[in-house]
Amino acid sequence: MSEKKTTNIILFSGDYDKAMAAFIIANGAAAYDHEVTIFATFWGLNAFRKDEPVPVKKGFLENMFGKMMPRGAEKMGLSQMNFAGIGPKLIKRVMKKHNALPLGDLISMAQEQDVKLVACTMTMDLLGLQKEELIDGIEYAGVAAYLADAEDGNVNLFI
Amino acid sequence: MSEKKTTNIILFSGDYDKAMAAFIIANGAAAYDHEVTIFATFWGLNAFRKDEPVPVKKGFLENMFGKMMPRGAEKMGLSQMNFAGIGPKLIKRVMKKHNALPLGDLISMAQEQDVKLVACTMTMDLLGLQKEELIDGIEYAGVAAYLADAEDGNVNLFI
Amino acid sequence: MSEKKTTNIILFSGDYDKAMAAFIIANGAAAYDHEVTIFATFWGLNAFRKDEPVPVKKGFLENMFGKMMPRGAEKMGLSQMNFAGIGPKLIKRVMKKHNALPLGDLISMAQEQDVKLVACTMTMDLLGLQKEELIDGIEYAGVAAYLADAEDGNVNLFI
């Protein structure tokens, strides 16, 4: 077959380090000419939030979730050694020192490489996130779309 | 080949939200006519616990683990924003508002769709969980059975 | 094809229980004659650390990370019920009682079964871990090497 290999990543986690891993793998796979999809669901959606507040109308609970969840990739915490927010600062300092790209840049790079970024509409609905609050250039779909991609995928990961 | 596609999910996590993701994917895949298996191991076994205590004889340590671990799907915490148990209550409230099924119902739906639910016997032994304490209609097996399913699987995930 | 089946595990987590799951699956797959690779990245690298300090020259931040991260498999915490370090002690006590192998032994068994253990060079660099600090008999590579293995893999997991 001359078909492209595919990599399909479910980004469930809202941790900065796990999202970094997801986008490093995605960018690597895209560089190796895979068709790559990142399907962000639950807390993973926070990586796709714009970093400034967007005025949208919401219910009380949805508004509260919106306020409590990190607004955008650079505000996410670490899965380990978070130390009340000091961990992410330290990690970013060593990343800068070693010329590693911050998460926001990894996401932009993924978009430039045509990695398909998909926001899970079911959890957007649950967490009260609206399209206006998410970054541009992403798609919106549900679990059926994920499965259609993944069932013929080469590398399927849940992060 | 006319063979069915297969989805094999290892449910390691004992978090409510991650278990929800596992069962939403499983139910979606079953609806798309996949053969689906959820292999619950370590804390993931808590999703299969009956919600009332079952009188079984255990050693001291096993008894302690049994008491400390959540008894059944609806008592599990969140992987993020758990806030000492308030998070799960909030999530369930928005789920109800948006007509999303609670985890217990997602598990029942999986059973109705013939998703194979397997409890990892090795970790049952370690954590002192006995068959009488787990919900009906599940199977019992070890890592060999998982690998036999997964090695020809289309979508393999560790959650 | 007469080719061997392959299992490729990314070990991202630095939790004792998740690392155990990774090595139990890896050892099982090796026993079933799979070619098995564990690619340790981020906190997963801690499983490959030697348990005694190794005198190496580091920058200030890298030194701090080195001191804060668990030194070797047996010092890692649990993903759930860690209870400030009591959880791992309890788990190890029940493991001993049930003759389950501790993580260190699972790693040795993996090496004896020719499971390929790979340390992610990019995150070694970030976290300031040097080859001298990691156990013997492992390989060093980046995400490209992982993808080359995984794109034809049968069982690909992110743990």
Q: Do B94 and A152 touch (CB under 8 A)?
A: no
- Its CATH class, for the domain covering B6-158, is alpha beta
Closest CA to B39 of B113, B143, B129, B124: B143
Evaluate if residue A2 carries a pLDDT over 60: no
pLDDT at C38: 98
pLDDT at B72: 93
Mutation for testing the A interface, residue in B5, B20, B86, B155 having most A CBs under 10 Å: B155
The string over A131-153, giving b where at least 16 C-beta atoms fall within 10 Å of a residue's C-beta and e elsewhere, is eebbbeebeebbbebbbebbbeb
Q: Predicted confidence band at B120 (pLDDT cuts at 50, 70, 90)?
A: very high
Report residue C63: phi and psi, to 5°: -65, -40
Q: B25 vs chain A: nearest CA distance in angstroms?
A: 7
Report residue C57: phi and psi, to 5°: -85, 130
Q: Do C21 and B42 touch (CB under 8 A)?
A: yes
Q: C73 vs chain B: nearest CA distance in angstroms?
A: 18
Task: Round to whole Å and give the CA distance between A86 and A77.
Answer: 9
The per-residue pLDDT of chain B, averaged, comes to 93
Mutation for testing the C interface, residue in B58, B147, B157 having most C CBs under 10 Å: B147
Chains that touch C (3 or more CB pairs under 8 A): A, B
- Contact indicator for C43, C71 with CB cutoff of 8 Å: no
- Contact indicator for A15, A21 with CB cutoff of 8 Å: no
Q: What is the pLDDT of residues C67-117, one digit of tens each?
A: 889 999 999 999 988 878 888 888 899 899 988 999 999 999 999 999 999
User: In chain C, helix, strand, coil percent, each to 5?
Assistant: 50, 15, 35
Which segment of A3-7, A111-115, C21-25 scores lowest on mean pLDDT? Answer: A3-7
pLDDT at A87: 87
Average pLDDT over every residue of A7-29:
97
Q: Do A21 and C43 touch (CB under 8 A)?
A: no
Q: What is the pLDDT of residues C1-48, one digit of tens each?
A: 448 999 999 999 999 999 999 999 999 999 999 999 999 999 999 999
For C122, which residue in chain A has the nearest alpha carbon?
A: A100
Q: Which residues of B touch A (CB under 8 A)?
A: 5, 7, 17-18, 21, 24-25, 28-29, 31-32, 34, 79-81, 90-91, 93-95, 97-98, 100, 154-159
Distances (CA, A) of C2 to A46, B154, C5: 45, 20, 9
Q: What is the pTM of this model?
A: 0.95
The per-residue pLDDT of chain A, averaged, comes to 93
CATH topology for the A6-11+27-76+105-145 domain = Hypothetical Protein Ychn; Chain: A, (3.40.1260)
B14: alpha, beta or left? (left if phi > 0; alpha if psi -120 to 50): alpha
- In percent, how much of chain A has pLDDT > 70? 99
The per-residue pLDDT of chain C, averaged, comes to 93
Chains that touch B (3 or more CB pairs under 8 A): A, C
Q: Predicted confidence band at B1 (pLDDT cuts at 50, 70, 90)?
A: very low
CB contacts of A154 in chain C (<8 Å) are 150-153
ipTM confidence score = 0.93
pLDDT at A31: 96
Q: B106 vs chain C: nearest CA distance in angstroms?
A: 23
Average pLDDT over every residue of A67-84:
89
A64: alpha, beta or left? (left if phi > 0; alpha if psi -120 to 50): alpha
CB contacts of C80 in chain B (<8 Å) are 13-15, 43
CB contacts of C145 in chain A (<8 Å) are none
Q: What is the pLDDT of residues A122-138, one digit of tens each?
A: 999 999 999 999 999 99
Which one-letter DSSP state was computed for residue A79?
A: S
